[in-house]
Structure 1
C-alpha cells in the first residue's frame, strides 16, 4: 500500500490515493505531533503540551491514551503504518518518503549539495511546491505547537532564500525583482531577502533602487528594533555604492554534514506542575537560537526547582536542536564535592560530539576553541546544571547562533551575558497542584484546603513540597490535614521536612555556609545579618528597619545584606526592600539561637521595633500636626504629606506584624500598643476595618502576656476603638471608661480618651448630651496644658454633639472655630474634616450654595491627604445637596461615584448609604425600576449587624428610615 502524509498545510492523510479523514481536532493534533517525530518515541508530556493550550486536565494521560487508541483503529488494517505505545510515550512508524516534510527536506538537502545553480533552483522549486499553506495549523493554538509551526515557516523561508540564491547564480535577476519586492514587503526585517533584492536590482541596472532598498531597510531596523543593518548587508551596500558587486550571491549555499548527535539529558521529571510563565520564557528564548546566540541562566536558592524546570524545558525543546543535547552537573551545590572545572567538562563534551580522543587538546584554551568549532555548524542544546560561578560557564559558551545554553545556579551569574531568570517560590495554586499530582489526595474542597496549609508551611518551595509528599506516601495512615497540623509548629517544621537524603535544612545550610567558607570579614558580617534578619517575621524588611535591627547605618547595612541577596538567602522586592521566605527565616532563627546571645537577639529586635514606633509618630506628626500624642523629632523625614502617606500605606502590613510580634515580648507591650494606636487612625481613614480588628487583637495579646507599666490604659484604648468599629458600642464604652480611670496621672492621655468616648457617644450611641461634658473637660485639659491647637478634633466632635442635641447655632460656631484653628496650624487632615462638618451644618440651614462650596473644598483636601473615608462621605453629602437643589443628574453622578468607591473599599455602611442615595437620585430622574433594585439592596445591607450608622451624617441626610423608596 502507498501512504502519504501532509503537514505542510492542513493535515492530509492518504492511502493508495484515497483520503482518510481524521475528523476530531484532538486526533489531528496527536497525529500531527507524532508525524513531526515519526520513527521516534514522543513523550506523553510533549503530546500534552501540543494538545492543550492551558494546563492539561488531571486525566490528560488517560485522554492521550484514548486518542492514541482511536487513532490506531483509524489506521488499522492497512500495512505500512504502525502506532505503538510504551511507558516512555508513543511512536509512529511510517514508510520512508511518506511525509511531505521529509520529502521537502530531502529535496532541499539535494539542492544544497549540487554545484549546478539551475538544477539547484529546480529542486528547490519542487520542494517549495510541496507546501499547501500554513504548516501544522492544528497545533497553532498552543505555545509549543506555535513554535513548531514558526520553525517550519523558517525552513520554508530558508528554502526560498536558497532558491533565490540559485536563480541569482543562474543570472535570472530580472525575473526575480517582482518576486523579491513582494517577499521583502512581507518580511521587511529579513536582511537576507533585502540583500538579494538589492543584488537583483543592481544587476538589472537599477542601482538607485538598490540603494533605496537599503535605506528603507536601515530605517525600518532602527524604528522597529533600534538596530543597524548587519555586516553583510552593509558590505553589499558599500559594494553597490562602488559599483563593485561580486558575481556570486552575498549569502552562499551552505552544505551541512551529518554529525553524531549526543542525547545526554537526564530523565524528564516524572511530575512537573505549571511554572507556565518561566517555561514559556525559556522556550521562546530557545526558539531564537537559530538566529542569535542564546544563553538562559536560571538562578535561585536551593529547593526552588531550577533543575526540574530546565530539564523539562530542555526535553520540550529537544527537537529544535537536532544535532544533540549535552548535559553536565557542575557540582556547584553538592555537599562534599568540589565544583567541576570547565576544562574537565570540555573533554567530556568533545568526546560526546564525536571528536577522536587522540585529537582532543590537553590545553583548555585549545580544547575550548575546538569545542566552539565543532558547534559552529550544529544546533546543539547545552545544559549546565548547578554552576557555582560564571567562570565555570564562560568557556562552555558556543561562539555564535545555532546552539543554546541553559544554566542553573544558586547565585545570579551577573557577568554572564544572556537572559537571567530568577526562580521564585511557586504560587499557591501551583503548589497545591503539585501536591495533588504527587499524592493524589487533593480531590475535594477539604483536600484543597489542607493542601494549601501544607503548601504555606512549605514556603511554596518545590523541594519542601516533594518531601512533604514523600512523607505522605510513606505513611498511608497520614492525611494532608494531619501533616498540615504537624507542620503548623514552627519550632519543629524543619525537622518534619526531611525524608531519606532530602532535607530543606541541608539545602539552606549549603547556601549559608558559602557565606563564611572563605573566612572573610564580609562573610562574617553577612552571616550575622542573616541570623538577625530572621528574628523579624515581617512580610518585607526595608533598609532603614534592617539598619536599626543590625545597629548599623544604612550604607553598612546594605553592604551586609548584599551577600545574602547574591546567595539567594534574601530576595530583593524593590530597591532597598528585602524579603526572607519562611523556611529560610526558620533556619536563620535556629542559627541565631545557636550563635547569638539572648541579650543580643532581644536588643536587635527592640532596636527595630523602636525605629518603627518613632517613625510612625514622626509620620503622624506630619499628617496630623495638632495631635499632641505624636511627638516630633523622630529619626527621619518622608517628604511632606504625600511621602508620609505613601510610607504609612506601604508599611502598614509590616507595622501590623511588628506590633503583633512586639505584643508577645515581655518588653514590647508598650511599643506594640503605641504602633497600633497610630495605625488605627490611618486604617480608619482608609476604611480598612479588617486591619483595625487585627489591632484590637494586639491589645488582647499584650494583656495575655503581662502588662508593663503604662500599658493597660493603652491596651484598653486600642481594644475600645476596635470594638467601636466592629459595632460593639457597649463594650467600647466600658473600655474607654476604664481607661479614663487609669489616666489620672496623664492629663493629655486623659484628654484623648475623653474625646474618643465623646465621639462614640455622639456618633454611634445617640447620647450627645452625655458626650458634651466629656468633650468640655477635654478642651479644658488641653487649654490648661498649653495645647489649644490640639483641640480642633475635640471642637469638631463637640459641634456634632450640640447639633444632634438641637443647638444648631452653637454647633455652627464651634465648627467654624475648629476650622479656623485647623487653617491657622496648617493641618490638612483636620481642615478636611472641619470643612466637611461645616458644609453639612450649612446644608441643614438650607444654604446649599455655601454647603456645596465647602464640600467641594473637602473633596480636594481629602484626595490630597489620601483620606478615603471623607472622600466617599463627601460624595454622598454633595449628592444630597444637589438633589435638594433639583439637579438629580449631578446627584446621581456623585452617588454612583461614592458607591463605586465604597464597593472597592469594602465599607458596609458606605455601600448601604450609596445604594440608598442612588435610589433617591434615580427616583428623582423617573427610573423607578432601577431605583427599586437599589432600594432593596440598601435595605438588605442596612440589616447587616456590622453596619454602623453615624448619627451626625445620618441627621444630615434627614431620614430616620434608611430606606427611602416605598
Structure 2
C-alpha cells in the first residue's frame, strides 16, 4: 500500500498524489475509481465492476470494457496502487487516504469522547468529521450503485449532524444554533428531529413564540404531506414549551388586499429562480416599475413560482398583492381581454362601476392613476401574448408586475425575463417525496425512474405522485413500471380534469396552422434533435423558412433550443407530438434527407463515393465544401443517423437502411466511433438479407470485413470477406470485385505476407485497372506496400507506396494519401533515411489532422516517435509517442495499440529509461501473441530482454 494517494468521496470525486491534484478523466472512469475506493483493499472481479459501474447501461462487450479503463487509471495513479490479481482488481491504499475512512474514524472518536463526558472534545471531533463533506457525496457520478451510496452517505452525514447539534444544545449554545437549524428545517420540513432541535434552541433563547410557530408549521407539513401527526418526541417538546410559557398577546395586523391563490405545500428546486424574481422586485429607490416575465412550457411551475415570490414580497408591497388569471390557456374559456381584466382590477381597488370608462385607453389611464404612488404588486397569470398585457401595466415605480405565460413575450419590455426549465433530477425526486411521503419514495432507483419518466416536469410529477398517494396498495416500483411503457405514459400522467396531455393540447391549439403542421411532423423525428435542413425535408419548405418555424415553436415553449441551430423536444412533448396525425410520406422524406446528407458528407471526407444514389437529391441538403465540413456534420448528426438506420430497418425500409449504414460506417470509422460503426453495419446487413439483394449484401460484408479488421483481427475479417466474395453476382461491377479482392488479399497478408496473399492483391490490381478506377488501384498498391513491409522488403514496399501516392494525388483521394504517406515514412525509417521520413510523416500528420482521421494519426505519431528518437529529439519523440498511444486506446484497435506501445517502448529504452519502457514492451507482446503478429512479437520480446539487461 502507498501513502502517496489521497481520494475524496464526500463531495465531487477528487484525487491527489503528493501535493498534485490529479485529473481523474471521464465520468465513467471516475465512477470505476469511486467503486474501487468505496471497497479499498478488496478484490473486485471484472464482472462485478461492470455491474457496479455500468449496471444502468451494460456495454455489449461485457467485461472486456474494464481493462482499458484500468489501464488509464494505472497511468494516472501512483505506481502500485491499482493492482490486478487472479480474480480481479484492487485499490491498495492506506486507511486514512480516503476521506470516508477519516470521517468514520473521527465520528468514532467523537462518540468515545461523548461517552466519557468530554462534550467539548466530542463536538470538535464531529465538527471535524462533518467538515470533510465538500458537497453532495460522489456528485455527478452515474450508476445505480453509486446513487445508492450517495443516498447512504447523505443520510449518514445528517445523522452525525443531528448528534453534533444535540451536543451543542447540551453545552448551552442555543443562540448560535438558530441560524443553522432554520436553514436545515427549511431544507427539509419533514425531518422532525431538526424541527425539535430548532424549537429547543428558540425556547432556550427566549423566543417561545417562534418555537411554537415552528411546531405549527411542522405539524401542518406532516399532515398535508404524509397525513400523520408529529411523533411523540416532537409533541413532548411542544408540551414542555406550552407548560412553561404564558400565552402571548396577538398582534393585530392591518388588513390588506391579498388575492394570491394557494401555491401548494410542495415547492422545491426553484430557490435560484425565486431569489432572482425577489431581487428584481425588491430593488429600492426605483425610478422604473419592475416587470418580471416568467415563461416556460405547460406544467413547468410558472404560477407556483410567481405566487411564492409574491408572498415573499409582502413587505415591499404592503398595500396589496393582486392576482388575475388571464386564461390564455384554459380549456373551455376564451382568454380574458384587456378591457375585462381592467374592469376586474379596478373593482378590486374599490372603484365604483359608474366611474369605470367603457373605452380601453381611458380605462387603462384610470388604472394607472389608481396605482400611482401606491405599493401594490400585480400578478398577471397565464397570459396569451404581449398585446393582452400592455394595457394592464401600472406606470408607478412603486408598484411591480409579475407576468407568466407559455410563450416568450417578446413584445413586453420586461426588466427581467426568466425562462423556467424542468427541475433538476435531485429536485424532482425531492418534489415526489414531498407529495407521496419520504417513506414511499425511499427507493432512490425507483424514484429516479419515476421522475425521469415524467421528464422532470413538475405537473407530471404531481399527477404521478397523486396517483401513488391515493393508491395505498401501489409501490413506487409499481408506478415506475407503469410509466415505463411509452405508449401509455401520457395516459398515466393525465386525468379527466387535466394533467399533461390536456395542458399540451391547449398550447398546440393556440399555434398558427403552419406551426401546428411542423409540430405534428416533428413527431416522426428519428433522432434526439433536429436542425433546419432535416426539418425542411419533413415540411417540404425552404431551410430558412423551416428555421423560422422552429424558432417560433421555441418561443411558444413547445420546442427546446439547447444550442444555436439544434432543436429538440422535451420527452413528454415528443410523445404528445407522436400521438398527432403526421402526413403520409413524412418519414420517407426524413429518411431521404439523412441518406443523401450522409452520402454527401462521406464524399467530402473521402473525396470519393462508395456507391451512387439517384440524382438529383429529392430534398435540400447542406453544402460540404471540405472534409472538415463533412466530419463536423458527422460529429453532430452521427447519433441521429444511427437512430434513423434503426427506424428504417425496423420499419422495413431496407434500401434506406443498408445504404445509410454503408454511407455512415466509414465516417464512424474515421472518427474511431467503433461501436456505432458496428451497429450501423449490423443493421445494414440485416436489411440486405431480408431484402434478398446479394450485391448489397456483398457491399455490406465488405465494409464489415474491411473496417472491422483492426478491431477483430485479420482471420475473422478474412472469413467475412470471403462471404462477401461468395455473394458477388456474376455480373458484379469490376470496382466492387476489385475492392473485395483487395480486402481479401490484405487480410491474408496480415495473417501471413506470403506469395499467396501477394497473388490475390496482384489480381485485385489487375481488376482495378480493367475497371479504370484509379482510386481503388491506388488503395491496392497501398496494401501491397504494407505486405512488402511486413516481409521486411522495404525497397519493394517503398516503390509500391510511391505508385499508390501518385495515383491518389491524380484522383485527389486524400483519405488514401494520409495512409500511404505513413507507409512511406515507415519504409524510409527502415532504410535509415530519417530526414526524408520526417518530411513524409509531417505531411501525413497535416493530412490526418485536416481530415480528422484518428486511425491514420495513430500510426503517424508512432512512426514520428521513432524518427525523432533516431534524431535524439527526446521531448518530441515522447510527446508524439504518447499521443499515438492515447488515440490507440480510444480506438479499441488491438493492432494500433500494439504498434503504439512498441514504438513508445523503443523510444523510452533508447532514452535510457528501461523501467518505463518495460510495461509497454510487455503489453505490445501480449497483444501480438494474441494476434500472431510475428514481427511485433520479435521486436517486443527483444525489447523486454534489453530492458532486463539494462536493469
Which residue of the other structure, out of 515, 533, 538, is the alignment partner of 1:526? 515
Which residue of the other structure, out of 310, 322, 326, is the alignment partner of 1:326? 322
1:357-383 CA deviation, whole Å, 9 max, x = no partner?
A: 776656543443343345443444332
Which residue of the other structure, out of 629, 636, 643, is the alignment partner of 1:657? 643
1:85 aligned counterpart, secondary structure: helix
1:412 aligned counterpart, secondary structure: coil
1:293 aligned counterpart, secondary structure: coil
Contact 1:912 1:939 in 2 (8 A): no
1:733 aligned counterpart, secondary structure: helix
Alpha carbons of structure 1 residues 761 and 349: separation in structure 2 relative to 1, 3 Å: farther
**Stretches of structure 1 lacking an aligned partner (at least 5 in a row):** 1-19, 32-46, 92-257, 516-522
Count matched residues.
738
| Residue 860 (1) aligns with residue 846 (2) | yes
Which residue of the other structure, out of 724, 749, 765, is the alignment partner of 1:739? 724
Contact 1:702 1:715 in 2 (8 A): no
Q: What does 1:304-703 align with in structure 2 at a 5 Å threshold?
A: 304-352=300-348, 363-418=359-414, 419-439=416-436, 447-499=443-495, 501-515=497-511, 523-558=512-547, 561=550, 564-592=553-581, 596=583, 600=584, 603-629=585-611, 636=621, 637-666=623-652, 668-699=653-684, 702=687
1:784-820 CA deviation, whole Å, 9 max, x = no partner?
A: 1221133322322221122213332221111111112
Alpha carbons of structure 1 residues 553 and 387: separation in structure 2 relative to 1, 3 Å: same
Alpha carbons of structure 1 residues 923 and 554: separation in structure 2 relative to 1, 3 Å: same
The CA distance in 2 between the partners of 1:310 and 1:905, in whole Å, is 51
The CA distance in 2 between the partners of 1:454 and 1:501, in whole Å, is 22
| Residue 272 (1) aligns with residue 267 (2) | yes
Query: After alignment, is 535-544 or 776-785 more displaced?
Result: 776-785
Q: What does 1:132-143 align with in structure 2 at a 5 Å threshold?
A: none
The CA distance in 2 between the partners of 1:497 and 1:799, in whole Å, is 64
1:649-676 CA deviation, whole Å, 9 max, x = no partner?
A: 221121111111111122x222122222
Shift of 1:336: 0.5
Shift of 1:546: 1.9
2:678 aligned counterpart, secondary structure: helix
Alpha carbons of structure 1 residues 845 and 762: separation in structure 2 relative to 1, 3 Å: same
Q: Which has the larger radius of gyration?
A: 1
Contact 1:299 1:306 in 2 (8 A): yes
The CA distance in 2 between the partners of 1:692 and 1:961, in whole Å, is 35
1:743-767 CA deviation, whole Å, 9 max, x = no partner?
A: 233323333333444444445x556
Contact 1:287 1:320 in 2 (8 A): yes
1:792 aligned counterpart, secondary structure: helix
1:168-189 CA deviation, whole Å, 9 max, x = no partner?
A: xxxxxxxxxxxxxxxxxxxxxx
2:697 aligned counterpart, secondary structure: helix
Q: CA RMSD in A?
A: 4.1
Alpha carbons of structure 1 residues 906 and 738: separation in structure 2 relative to 1, 3 Å: closer
Alpha carbons of structure 1 residues 887 and 582: separation in structure 2 relative to 1, 3 Å: same
Alpha carbons of structure 1 residues 451 and 334: separation in structure 2 relative to 1, 3 Å: same
Shift of 1:898: 4.1
Alpha carbons of structure 1 residues 481 and 60: separation in structure 2 relative to 1, 3 Å: closer
2:580 aligned counterpart, secondary structure: helix
1:290-342 CA deviation, whole Å, 9 max, x = no partner?
A: 53433222223312332233334444555554444322221111100121233
Which residue pairs with 2:153 in the alignment? none
Query: After alignment, is 619-628 or 80-89 more displaced?
Result: 80-89
The CA distance in 2 between the partners of 1:294 and 1:950, in whole Å, is 76
The CA distance in 2 between the partners of 1:90 and 1:455, in whole Å, is 27
Contact 1:696 1:722 in 2 (8 A): no
Alpha carbons of structure 1 residues 357 and 532: separation in structure 2 relative to 1, 3 Å: closer
Contact 2:317 2:375 in 1 (8 A): yes
Which residue pairs with 2:816 in the alignment? 830
The CA distance in 2 between the partners of 1:793 and 1:707, in whole Å, is 30
Contact 2:453 2:483 in 1 (8 A): yes
1:407 aligned counterpart, secondary structure: strand
The CA distance in 2 between the partners of 1:851 and 1:442, in whole Å, is 70
The CA distance in 2 between the partners of 1:384 and 1:27, in whole Å, is 37
Alpha carbons of structure 1 residues 80 and 963: separation in structure 2 relative to 1, 3 Å: farther
1:585 aligned counterpart, secondary structure: helix
Alpha carbons of structure 1 residues 82 and 888: separation in structure 2 relative to 1, 3 Å: closer
Shift of 1:387: 0.8
Contact 2:195 2:218 in 1 (8 A): no
Query: After alignment, is 839-848 or 82-91 more displaced?
Result: 82-91
Query: After alignment, is 340-349 or 382-391 more displaced?
Result: 340-349
Alpha carbons of structure 1 residues 70 and 674: separation in structure 2 relative to 1, 3 Å: same
Shift of 1:718: 5.2
The CA distance in 2 between the partners of 1:427 and 1:799, in whole Å, is 57
**Stretches of structure 2 lacking an aligned partner (at least 5 in a row):** 1-170, 221-252
Alpha carbons of structure 1 residues 924 and 513: separation in structure 2 relative to 1, 3 Å: same
The CA distance in 2 between the partners of 1:937 and 1:319, in whole Å, is 71
Contact 2:662 2:681 in 1 (8 A): no
Alpha carbons of structure 1 residues 614 and 354: separation in structure 2 relative to 1, 3 Å: same
Alpha carbons of structure 1 residues 881 and 694: separation in structure 2 relative to 1, 3 Å: same
